Amino acid sequence: MGGPKLQFTRDYGLFELHEFNRNLHKDKILEQSMREHGFMPSSPLQCVRNGDGKLRIIRGHHRFAIAKALGRGVWYVVDQSNTELFKLEACKSQWSIRDFAEARAHAGDENCIKLLDFMAKHKIPIGAATALMVGSSTRSGSKTGKIRNGTFRVADLKHANQVVRITDRGRELNIPFVTSTAFVCAISLSLRVPEFDQNRFVHSLELNGTQMRKRGTVIEYLDEIEALYNYGKKVRQPIAFRAKEISRQRQLNFFKPKAGEETEEDDEG
């Protein structure tokens, strides 16, 4: 027996987008390719019948949207295979972790809704935000992997709220790097140090925060945090040393990604 039949149409009204798909993004490379070559039959839309006379697109939302905008016909197959959209896309590289979070939020996942709200409110990158919301300080890819496979759950947000109290104040003071992944992780580590007084650091941030410099790693930011924390103080605290010591005790690795770990985008907005 043959597989699904390859078909062609210019009737866009036949189709509807899957309600749980990721948000559509601008894809200049795909758009240029479709301007030059049209809709390639080797990559048809995968659709299922929705029961109301429409074909629901399971895969190919971006190709469909661009073809419609360009007035190009589309190739499609109707494949009633009962495969979950998230499982289909988890095998591909096109979806980012944020795509999965947005799609699962569209599907009503309360944990992903809370994650996206937290990110939007505090401008924290998804890798750092995910780790904070599961009650960890690490940027481990295993945490974002929970979003991909649907097991992400929000834990106690006490530590996360302590972190964003500092980063939010830094944003109010126009310190540009305070929401970068490396800085967020360094603040999270510092807050694990019993001697670290959050109020004292916020006060120092307000007085002299502009003296801090943008750095590239968590370790470098720990040094910046320690220097600011002790600025003008007679009693100095070894915040960076203690943070790394406690990190080792907790058997967490903040300072380099593990082999095969997904690298998170270090976007500051």
Q: Does residue 181 contact residue 266 with C-beta atoms inside 8 Å? A: yes
222, amino acid identity: L
What's phi and psi for 254, nearest 5 deg?
-95, -10
**pLDDT at residue 14 above 80?**
yes
Q: Using one digit for the tens of pLDDT, what is the confidence trace for 59-113?
A: 888 889 999 999 999 999 988 765 555 555 444 556 778 888 888 887 788 989 9
Instruction: Provide the whole-model pTM.
Output: 0.62
All structural domains of the chain, each given as residue ranges with its CATH number in brackets, are 7-90 (3.90.1530.10), 96-256+263-269 (no CATH)
What integer pLDDT is reported at residue 36 of this predicted model? 87
Per-residue pLDDT tens over the stretch 186-197:
999 999 999 999
CA distances from 129 to 58, 76, 126, 167 (A): 29, 38, 5, 12
Quick one: pLDDT at residue 103?
80
- Mean of the per-residue pLDDT values of the chain: 82
